[in-house]
Structure 1
Amino acid sequence: MSEVLQRIYASAPTNDLPIHTLELQADSFGVIRLCNGFDNVNAGIESGETVLFEASGMGVSLPSRAVKGRQDLQFQLDNVSGEALEKVDAAKEAGDKIKVIYRVYTASDLTEPAEPPVEMTAVSVQATAMRVNVVASFNDLVNRAWPRDRYTPDVAPGLKYFS
């Protein structure tokens, strides 16, 4: 966690707050950028461009900093519009992977995120008329096979003669 965020979380100044943002990307709906709060926010992203994050009633549960295999980021969007439901349903029906990028900014510096962005893939999406619940996960590196490529008789035919 950056020094600025540590200071904000420790002292809770009234003039400088963390702004949590989510960027959802899928082939079926393009890019949706949301931030928590009542006001839209123009903020800089890693590519150097400034983009608009739309205000949303959003709750985010960050993954724990642990060494367990799978870590999930859970978030809920309340009072979603019919348009958002249509986009999520279209992505689910098309079988698109929804990429989720979580960024946190400080209200005093919107030129870049206060810490590196967290990129995940949505593994569970539940949508109702009132809210969208999404669970996003890192790649499960702890339980992944190493080496990734397995040498089987299909890949290396000479192996079928060894026993």
Structure 2
Amino acid sequence: MKTARALAVISLAGVAVLAPAAAHAAAGPALPATEAQGAAPTSWGPYHASGRKAVASGSLTATPKDDRSKPAARITVTGTVTDLTRKPACGWALFRLSVKAPGGKVAIKHRNYRTCSYDKPRKFTFSHTNVYEVEFKICSEAKAAKPSLNCLYSGTWKPLYTYYNA
């Protein structure tokens, strides 16, 4: 009986020693140094609204990835938008994100940032996961709760990030 008890203690001790190593191995391979540290931010802008009535600039950081066909795990956009008119108008920084949706589909998300104070920049930051593309547009128009359809749909969107280029 003493031999069986001793073998049981040895096997339990072996499990206790091997369990942390097995858990670490199950967590997956170690990330490369660049992925563990994150990617360096990419600057964008300055972009001006028509007539130079507003300006926006900032940076975008996307997590590095091994497979170019997959979306970025996370993007973070920071920046400022400044109204350059002395009239009662506002500068709008508009972002359109194409993100991975359930079922392998793509969904469109919008982020809008507005400032109506002359020459006083408004800072903004946002993050999103599973991003295929980030596009940007800047407008200057009358004060409103949300950007007009003219601001949203006229002119061109400027690509800031595309998943297959990263």
TM range (shorter): 0.3 to 0.5
Question: Larger C-alpha radius of gyration, 1 or 2?
Answer: 2
Between Structure 1 and Structure 2, the one with more strand by share is 2
TM-score normalised over the length of structure 1 = 0.32
Name whichever structure is richer in helix by fraction.
Answer: 2
Higher relative contact order (CA 8 A, sep 6+): 1
* TM-score of the aligned structures, taking structure 2 as reference length: 0.32
